[in-house]
C-alpha cells in the first residue's frame, strides 16, 4: 500500500534516510581528507618556497608563493611573503641590470630590467631605469 508522501512506504523512507546519512558521512570524510592532503601540499610548497628564498632563487619562490595564494586566498600572511619575494627578485634583477649596463650590454640590461618590473611593478628605480634603457637614455651607465 502506498503512503501519502509520494508513494514511498515508511520502510523505503527509512532506507533513504540511512543512505543519505551514509552519503553525508562519505562526503565529510572526503572533505577532511582533501583538506588534510591539501595542507600537506601547502606545507611542501611552502618548504620549497622558503628554500628558494634562502638560496636566492627569488623567481622560483614567487611561483611557489603564488601557488599558495591561489589555494589560500584569504590568508594574508602569504601575500606578505609573496611581496617580499617580489621585492627581493626585483632588487636582484636590478643589480644584474646595472652590472650589464656597466659592461655596456644594453640587451642583457633591458632583459633584467623587464624581469625586475615584472617581479615588482611598483619598484620606482627599476621602472625608471627600464624606461631610460628602452629610450636609449641609459648611456651614462654604459662605459
Question: How do residues 106-119 score in pLDDT, each as one tens digit?
Answer: 888 888 988 898 88
User: Best-predicted range by mean pLDDT among 7-16, 65-74, 84-93?
Assistant: 84-93
Stated pTM of the model: 0.65
**Cβ-proximal residues to 48 (8 Å cutoff; 6+ apart), any chain:** 60, 64
Note whether 100 and 106 are within 8 A (CB): yes
Q: Which residue has the higher pLDDT, 36 or 114?
A: 114
Note whether 138 and 102 are within 8 A (CB): no
Report helix, strand or coil for 55: coil
Phi/psi for 8 (5° steps) reads: -95, 135
Whole-number pLDDT of residue 107: 86
Q: Which residue is associated with the grid cell 649596463?
A: 101
* Rounded CA separation 35/96 (Å): 41
Amino acid at each position: 500500500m502506498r503512503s501519502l508522501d509520494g508513494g514511498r512506504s515508511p520502510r523505503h523512507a527509512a532506507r533513504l534516510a540511512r543512505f543519505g546519512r551514509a552519503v553525508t558521512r562519505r562526503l565529510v570524510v572526503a572533505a577532511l581528507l582533501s583538506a588534510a592532503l591539501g595542507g600537506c601540499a601547502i606545507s611542501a610548497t611552502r618548504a620549497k618556497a622558503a628554500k628558494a628564498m634562502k638560496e636566492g632563487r627569488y623567481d622560483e619562490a614567487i611561483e611557489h608563493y603564488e601557488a599558495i595564494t591561489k589555494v589560500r586566498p584569504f590568508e594574508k600572511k602569504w601575500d606578505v611573503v609573496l611581496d617580499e619575494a617580489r621585492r627581493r627578485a626585483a632588487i636582484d634583477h636590478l643589480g644584474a641590470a646595472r652590472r650589464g649596463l656597466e659592461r655596456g650590454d644594453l640587451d642583457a640590461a633591458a632583459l633584467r630590467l623587464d624581469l625586475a618590473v615584472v617581479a615588482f611593478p611598483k619598484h620606482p628605480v627599476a621602472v625608471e631605469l627600464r624606461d631610460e634603457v628602452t629610450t636609449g637614455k641609459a648611456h651614462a651607465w654604459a662605459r
